[in-house]
Structure 1
Amino acid sequence: MSKEAVPNEQTKEVLEKYDNESRVRSYRKYYVGLIVSIIAISLSVYHLYTSYFGTPVTLQHRSIHVAVVLALIFLIYPAYKKLDRRKLHWYDVILAMMAISTTVYIYIDYDGIVRRGGMPNEWDLVFGLILVALVLEGARRVTGWALPLLATLFIAYGLYGNHLSGLFRHRGYEWSDIVNFMYVTTEGVYGTAISVSATYIFLFILFGAFLQKSGMGQFFNDLALAIAGQTKGGPAKVSVIASGFLGSINGAAVANVVTTGSFTIPLMKKIGYKKDFAGAVEASASVGGQILPPIMGAAAFIMAEILGIAYRDIALAALLPALLFYLGVIIQIHLRATKEGLQGISKENLPLVKNVMMERGHLLIPLLFLMYMLFLSGRTIIFSAFLTILVTVAVSMIRKTTRMSVKDIIGALDNGARTALAVAIACASVGIIVGIATLTGFGLKLANGIVILGGESLFLTLMFTMVASIVLGMGLPSIPTYIITATMAAPALVQLGIEPLVAHLFVFYFGIFANITPPVALAAFAAAGISGGRQMRTGGISMKLALAGFIVPYIFVYNSNLLLINTTIMQGIVVVITSVIGVTMLSFAAEGYFFTKMNWLFRAVLFGGALLFMNPNGYQDLIAILILVAVGILQYMKAKKEGGINLPLEGYRDRYDQEEPAIVTT
């Protein structure tokens, strides 16, 4: 049976245009590709081995991770876009060997490095300089110019910041001080970011690679079609459900847009959604996956490491805000479908939930097992990830359609390492940025600057922090974005007495949504490339669809009950009810539809009523509910006068035209 999708060539073109990570070599000579695959597989096997048997000494373990990642980058990613990708250039081989030399030196002279303790010799500085230069070049090839330029600016600040005046002046550092700090300590390149990359992130990316090989992506698409395909605007809801699931696991917004969007965007356009709106739905849903537990694109594990908080507490705190975000998106796309009379997909052209679950439902077992291990077993995150990968392989054997062959397993090991390169090199680059911020005290100074700008007003401080997080997150992958904003923006809120977890979730949200915030909205631009829509228009609609995601962080700052932190059952019930009502009002206002089209005045009133739920106050909640009832009655009366009532949250549709082609997936 057929499957509506964007042609593979167009998908590849869009991915390469907006996602540097996809611009990889495809070797003409088989043996060259084989050598690269062996290195990638070896890296995966090394991480699996250390997750079970334990890692070497910290500096040695992290240096191996960075060195092999750099070597693979120079072997896989060409120096420039226009170079022949079927050929490996001699200088890339030299750069790969230089990358390996940085960890070989640490192993050879590890005792000497420890004894010198901050007093580097000439060889320390030579290999340190090599490492910093290679990290910047590797980041440029994989992530683009934004991250290495930012890291270079921070290095320049470390060298010449003593010539500045005012708040950001520091005492000044020599090149030897900076290189030593970056190379032979666990504060620079080998700092917290690489620590998390070399443990949690790599293993969970590898887990995602095994899930993909077992057919999990196809299962999510089929299940979403079976659940939501028949409802009004069904394909858009399919996009939200499938992208949310996949985004939580892979944490790559642009890749998620292209992977899921190549299937869902043509379906959305087919039933009548305009191309800008169709692209925006996919972009906002894909970005939102990174705030959705249980995996949150691995960000939850980094947050746990930085804050020293149990992972399960972070996942629980992030759950309700993430569900509210997706509720807001789904309500808006349903309202758009109701307003424009768009239908879903006929039932006979959809897979049945029962059949999907019978065929691939067992693939949920690894996810359930992972949740058990993380929340109930008491075992470490690393060991939990290791066991879950083994369970994924075992569970895939249950049915022939999902069974992983030896070739599939080897392919997963290879793909997992390749996929991890982008995150790993971004973390290494962020190590330079965070290292300089730590060395010079820049992070604290920036936090003080935000607090000074905000004055005594918490709201103004939140606004400035939001802007700082969005600017820092523009054009950067989600994980380094969070690490940067956590280092430089979150402390501003902590200084005002905000709980660290609340502050970190606040900056995390806005760093993530930079991906759909023009003028640098890479996820939205990629979606526009598939839909054929306008980039800036798609970005603007993406922001509107994600409006709940821009408001909810303010709510949980003022009302931490939304994060279910130290709340009673009754408080939890109340906050769920009020927040759902608030997001619903927000969606009505954003889409301008409540039984019938609304004028700007009613939209503004509903928006104001939704904001009343921001601060926990019984009187404000009552006023907001009265606003909702009053506007609802007036809109209902208006709709009756216009000749008919379209319920704003009405569900299923009449059967679609029988000539509609089948899209049931295999």
Structure 2
Amino acid sequence: MLQNRRPLTGLWALFARLMAALVPVSTIVYVSRVLPDMGLIVYKEQFLAFFLTLCLALTFMTVPARAAHKQQAHVPWYDVILVLAALAIGGYISFEYGSLITTMGLITDDKVLVSAIGVVLLLEAARRQAGWVMVGLALVALSYAYFGHHLSGVFETRVIGLDRLLIYNYLGTGAILGTPLYVAATIVAAFVLFGQVLFLVGGGDAISNFAFALMGRRRGGPAKVAVLSSAFFGSLSGSASGNVATTGMLTIPMMRRVGYSDTKAAAIEAVASTGGLVLPPVMAATGFLMAEFLGIPYSTVAIAAAIPALLFYLCVYLQVDMEAGRNGITGWQGDDLPGLRRSCIEILPVVLPFAGLLYTLFALYWSPAASAFMGTGITIIVSLALAWMRQSARGYFNVIATAGEAVVFIAIMCAVAGLVVGCLGLTGLGSSLAQNLVTLSGGSVWLLLGFAAIGCIVLGMGVPVTATYIILVILVGPALVEVGVDDLSAHMFVFYFGTLSFLTPPVCLAVFVAASIAQSPPMRTAGYALRFAIVAYLIPFVFVFNPAFLFQGTWLEIANATVAGIVGVFLLSAGLVGYLKAPLSIALRVLLVGAGLVALFLCGTSWLVTLFAVALLIVVSRYKFGSSDKRTLGSAPVS
């Protein structure tokens, strides 16, 4: 997300704050169904048009057309025109949608004009918010839909008139005003508000202090703090690079001071922050989109994502610990760490909102948005009851407005992703591309998964994770399902590799942000990041062939997968770092890496594989550390 925001003053600043506050307030009104209870029927598309209007107008007010103009304290005349145009278009759709929907099949001048202006405004807002990448994708999709009939072969499309193309994408239910924007306007807005309120009343500091108190003095303590805190913040923020910029400013210098190299400190923070995007219960809100697309409860998605995410963080944690052991890195030696007892007391008020959120979401089966609002309400009540958390009325208003500003970026990206989805739906490229990928792979599931992984990483570079998932699940997902991969595994596979674009060179945004903080070479940092995140690159292939890793199967199969996964990650981490309480020889490292891979990929064939991996870990530990004279057998210093 671009940070070129105008420092507005006076009435413009007040107007912008009021409009920003209206963004989450509109979500609360819609989700709580206040208007229908009053006898006023509101179509979903009417609400989405109103919500998008607020986001467009707010973008033109606060984000300048060029970075060079970011010091403007007022809104220039041309942006005033864009604000008025956005309000006019949104108002027309919001108030006239009841009549528009009855004549949606008829092409009229007013629909074409409204749609054309709306698409242009959306693309300009996306350019200001995120640069040219998403705009380029949208323009390619529109161009393909309009000019595709001039192509030949599998990419040839039927003739689609410009008027029909514009109306379908801006006024229809399967494009801009479709599922992606709906999830952003309800679920994402609700969870962003929950996160902002939680941080306002000191929840962020309480979590950070607890992480430092719990892990700070352990071996390699600051790195373990980075893993723990970045996991939580990344899950809520939905932005890997934003999470690095927030937590990395504190954790990276601390890691460097205790002995981690610049490159490794930056790599650890980048990986830990990126992993938060796939970590339940929030999963950066993308998990809610997955549930919408699959038509299943979100609880099913969150439970399915649990084992892979925990194995991911176990791998990072173990490597961090082993790196510290190999290089003699101790914990934080300063006396400025918070006390564990006080930190536990301070975090209790933060646990209550999360308990309410999880209870309503997983036990009462409330909608995700309603559960998030419950968590927000509990947070506010707790903060009012405790003097050290209590805020002024102005503070609560400001946090609502700040939440609205944070939602705008995601909503604009989801709307553009909806535009791309609409174009793909009109042309039928999604299904034809799936057929081509299957043909290209020759029916080989392994080869198709390889093509899909590479395609997901490439298409996800420079694109926000939510938009990446939406586009990839339309383009790549059907091909995986066609060769026999179940729907949930296919969606999770696409989600994982789209997320990994933040770590994979050459466009590894999370790594670049971390490297800039640590002042380390970006590509070398990316190399270490790939090693720390190795499980994230392996686990999608693993759960495709063994759905037990996604909690799909009998309890015995799930238990086998869990045990094999933990032991496999242990073996793999030790082999990659080259340390298991003492340096390991090259031969032993190769053996451990190979055994770890076997445990992960073949555990589903038999319990014997899991037992072999467990036995190997026990034997290696006893052989290496059974007595002082055996400690050096088979070991060699590792560079």
Unaligned runs of 5+ in 1: 1-18, 649-666
| Aligned counterparts of 2:86 and 2:271: Cα–Cα separation in 1 | 38
> Is 1:159 aligned to 2:146, yes or no?
yes
> Is 1:75 aligned to 2:56, yes or no?
no
- 1:320-366 Cα offsets, whole Å, 9 max, x none, are 11111000000011111111111101485422221012234211110
> Is 1:106 aligned to 2:93, yes or no?
yes
Q: 1:52–1:386: 8 Å Cα contact kept in structure 2?
A: no
Query: Which of 310-319 and 115-124 deviates more?
Result: 115-124
Correspondence for 1:606 among 592, 597, 604: 592
The correspondence of residues 421-460 of structure 1 with structure 2, limited to 5 A, is 421-460=408-447
Give the corresponding residue for 1:480.
Answer: 467
Give the corresponding residue for 2:501.
Answer: 514
CA gap 1:157/1:347 in 2 versus in 1, 3 angstroms: same
| Aligned counterparts of 1:479 and 1:345: Cα–Cα separation in 2 | 37
Give the corresponding residue for 1:26.
Answer: 7
CA gap 1:336/1:645 in 2 versus in 1, 3 angstroms: farther
Q: Secondary structure at the match of 2:448?
A: helix
* Residue 404 (structure 1) shift: 2.5
* Residue 193 (structure 1) shift: 0.5
Q: Secondary structure at the match of 1:82?
A: helix
The correspondence of residues 164-183 of structure 1 with structure 2, limited to 5 A, is 164-183=151-170
Q: 2:623–2:630: 8 Å Cα contact kept in structure 1?
A: no
The correspondence of residues 252-401 of structure 1 with structure 2, limited to 5 A, is 252-346=239-333, 348-401=335-388
| Aligned counterparts of 2:453 and 2:230: Cα–Cα separation in 1 | 25
Q: Secondary structure at the match of 2:17?
A: helix
Q: 1:230–1:347: 8 Å Cα contact kept in structure 2?
A: no
Unaligned runs of 5+ in 2: 36-41
Give the corresponding residue for 2:38.
Answer: none
| Aligned counterparts of 2:583 and 2:137: Cα–Cα separation in 1 | 46
Asked which structure has the greater RCO (Cα within 8 Å, sep 6+), the reply is: 1
| Aligned counterparts of 1:341 and 1:624: Cα–Cα separation in 2 | 28
Q: 2:178–2:418: 8 Å Cα contact kept in structure 1?
A: yes
| Aligned counterparts of 1:199 and 1:108: Cα–Cα separation in 2 | 20
| Aligned counterparts of 1:43 and 1:135: Cα–Cα separation in 2 | 17
Q: Secondary structure at the match of 1:350?
A: coil
> Is 1:50 aligned to 2:30, yes or no?
yes
CA gap 1:32/1:117 in 2 versus in 1, 3 angstroms: closer
Give the corresponding residue for 1:13.
Answer: none
| Aligned counterparts of 1:61 and 1:94: Cα–Cα separation in 2 | 23
Give the corresponding residue for 2:568.
Answer: 582
* Residue 392 (structure 1) shift: 1.1
CA gap 1:287/1:638 in 2 versus in 1, 3 angstroms: farther
Q: 2:30–2:47: 8 Å Cα contact kept in structure 1?
A: no
| Aligned counterparts of 2:473 and 2:401: Cα–Cα separation in 1 | 32
- 1:48-98 Cα offsets, whole Å, 9 max, x none, are 122212572122111001111011011111111111433322111111111
Q: 2:624–2:631: 8 Å Cα contact kept in structure 1?
A: no
* Residue 567 (structure 1) shift: 2.4
| Aligned counterparts of 2:218 and 2:131: Cα–Cα separation in 1 | 41
| Aligned counterparts of 2:163 and 2:623: Cα–Cα separation in 1 | 71
Q: Secondary structure at the match of 1:597?
A: coil
Give the corresponding residue for 1:60.
Answer: 46
Q: 1:393–1:404: 8 Å Cα contact kept in structure 2?
A: no
Q: 2:356–2:374: 8 Å Cα contact kept in structure 1?
A: no
Give the corresponding residue for 2:39.
Answer: none
* Residue 393 (structure 1) shift: 0.5
Q: 1:26–1:86: 8 Å Cα contact kept in structure 2?
A: yes
* Residue 33 (structure 1) shift: 0.9
Give the corresponding residue for 2:552.
Answer: 565
| Aligned counterparts of 1:342 and 1:314: Cα–Cα separation in 2 | 38
* Residue 622 (structure 1) shift: 4.7
* Residue 394 (structure 1) shift: 0.5
Q: Secondary structure at the match of 2:155?
A: coil
Query: Which of 516-525 and 340-349 deviates more?
Result: 340-349
Identity %: 35
Q: 2:60–2:79: 8 Å Cα contact kept in structure 1?
A: yes
Amino acid at match of 2:27: H
Q: 2:235–2:283: 8 Å Cα contact kept in structure 1?
A: yes
> Is 1:229 aligned to 2:216, yes or no?
yes
> Is 1:525 aligned to 2:512, yes or no?
yes
Amino acid at match of 2:298: Y
Q: 1:118–1:180: 8 Å Cα contact kept in structure 2?
A: no
| Aligned counterparts of 2:27 and 2:166: Cα–Cα separation in 1 | 27
| Aligned counterparts of 1:98 and 1:38: Cα–Cα separation in 2 | 19
| Aligned counterparts of 1:572 and 1:536: Cα–Cα separation in 2 | 38
Q: Secondary structure at the match of 1:92?
A: helix
Q: Secondary structure at the match of 2:385?
A: coil
- 1:150-190 Cα offsets, whole Å, 9 max, x none, are 11111111011122222222113121121011122111111
Q: Secondary structure at the match of 2:153?
A: coil
TM-score by length of 2: 0.94
> Is 1:617 aligned to 2:605, yes or no?
yes
- 1:380-403 Cα offsets, whole Å, 9 max, x none, are 223222222111101122322222
Amino acid at match of 2:595: G
Give the corresponding residue for 1:37.
Answer: 17
Give the corresponding residue for 2:176.
Answer: 189
Amino acid at match of 1:79: A
* Residue 128 (structure 1) shift: 0.4
Give the corresponding residue for 1:661.
Answer: none
| Aligned counterparts of 1:86 and 1:108: Cα–Cα separation in 2 | 34
* Residue 378 (structure 1) shift: 3.0
> Is 1:591 aligned to 2:577, yes or no?
yes
